[in-house]
Structure 1
């Protein structure tokens, strides 16, 4: 069976390249859903945070500081998405105003702001910070999510410990899976411009979606591909046992 292409790109593959360059290779209005967690820095007294549980192979920094231009990558997201589709992006409290304004400027409409509850509250003088924010946008006319019952139970506790984690900002699979299954159908194409640990790809594979993504960090890609290979191995063994 030949490899399936999206423009000049192979589907179901992580490309080691800047997403701004990678998305230029994707044809207009050819993507059914975008789920992504853009890079950001975590600082403590001006230094990068490195929790005690983080393995040495995750490195000292969350990101090298070269944050992609929000306007540029969101413009590409808008261009490649089909009409009447959804776009989810994680966002921290410092960037939420900018993300909302840029998304509006490029043409997205805000559906909702989803809060993912964490078990890692950061105490300060202005209450705990115990959520990860997800901005839920649409392109074109409103399209309802597939599972209306999940409107009240989308929140998932984000584990404090690193069980199964290969990336410092890795999100819970159950949460990403809900976004993928609620906003796409089987055999549709899901894009993640900032692939990281490949959770979006895993959720797509396990739910019969096609996918493509970009990542610049060599270590992230190596770990993500090992994760994807393990899923493929498990699928092969399941087929063998039938």
Structure 2
């Protein structure tokens, strides 16, 4: 994945970033049901700061899941390792939240009868027909996540009819997967250009389902 370079993701200082992050995570915690869970994905640029904020406000960690990329972009200048993974922090509302949804047996079944590990999440980047592009062939969204990754998250921690909230809807991947898996969803997106992209993508998917 390439770093986001949109105006909404630029901050004057770490303090500004931390304040922004604290505010949106705190609001997610407020609306999170006791039986629900929260997943936040990030890279080495930000995930450690995010994790500290999550713990500071009382979210209780269940796992840090490692998405291993099968086709990570190489480090061209040879000055550091190829960044081959992203981290997903999986947490509940607080330490007293014990009745959260975790589809353990299903995950074991699709993992060849073995208990799934937090490093068994091996997926390629979003490429080919799945990658949204504009008429000039430019990527429509800089950090579009692969459908299979979001599918694994939703299958892990929700059931049919549950409500999924994505506070950074982007290109609409969460909505597409949630719809396919018969979950309800709410998506929030600040940037108008991404709202249009997500809406069209969702509309096209719904039309395709009706065919």
TM-score (norm 2): 0.76
Structure that is richer in helix per residue: 2
Instruction: Indicate the residue corresponding to 2:187 in structure 1.
Output: 213
Q: Is 1:101 equivalent to 2:84 in the alignment?
A: no
SS of aligned partner of 1:117: strand
Instruction: Indicate the residue corresponding to 1:120 in structure 2.
Output: 72
Question: What are the equivalent positions in structure 2 for 1:167-182 lying under 5 Å apart?
Answer: 167-182=141-156
Instruction: Indicate the residue corresponding to 2:205 in structure 1.
Output: 231
Instruction: Indicate the residue corresponding to 2:91 in structure 1.
Output: 137
Q: Contact (CA 8 Å) 2:2, 2:142: kept in 1 or not?
A: no
Q: Is 1:196 equivalent to 2:170 in the alignment?
A: yes
Q: Contact (CA 8 Å) 1:62, 1:168: kept in 2 or not?
A: no
Q: Distance in 1 between matches of 2:64 and 2:207?
A: 36
Q: Distance in 2 between matches of 1:141 and 1:168?
A: 36
Q: Is 1:155 equivalent to 2:122 in the alignment?
A: yes
Larger RCO (CA within 8 A; separation ≥ 6): 1
C-alpha RMSD of the superposition: 2.4
Task: Give per-residue Cα distances to partners, 1:136-174, cap 9 Å, x unaligned.
Answer: 112222636213325244321224x45332322011101
TM-score (norm 1): 0.67
Q: Distance in 2 between matches of 1:220 and 1:135?
A: 25
- What's the offset of the Cα at 1:234? 1.4
Kindly tell me the number of residue pairs found equivalent between the two proteins. 181
Task: Give per-residue Cα distances to partners, 1:117-137, cap 9 Å, x unaligned.
Answer: 221234243422111221111
Q: Distance in 2 between matches of 1:41 and 1:63?
A: 16
Q: Identify unmatched segments of 5+ residues in structure 2.
A: 12-16, 133-140
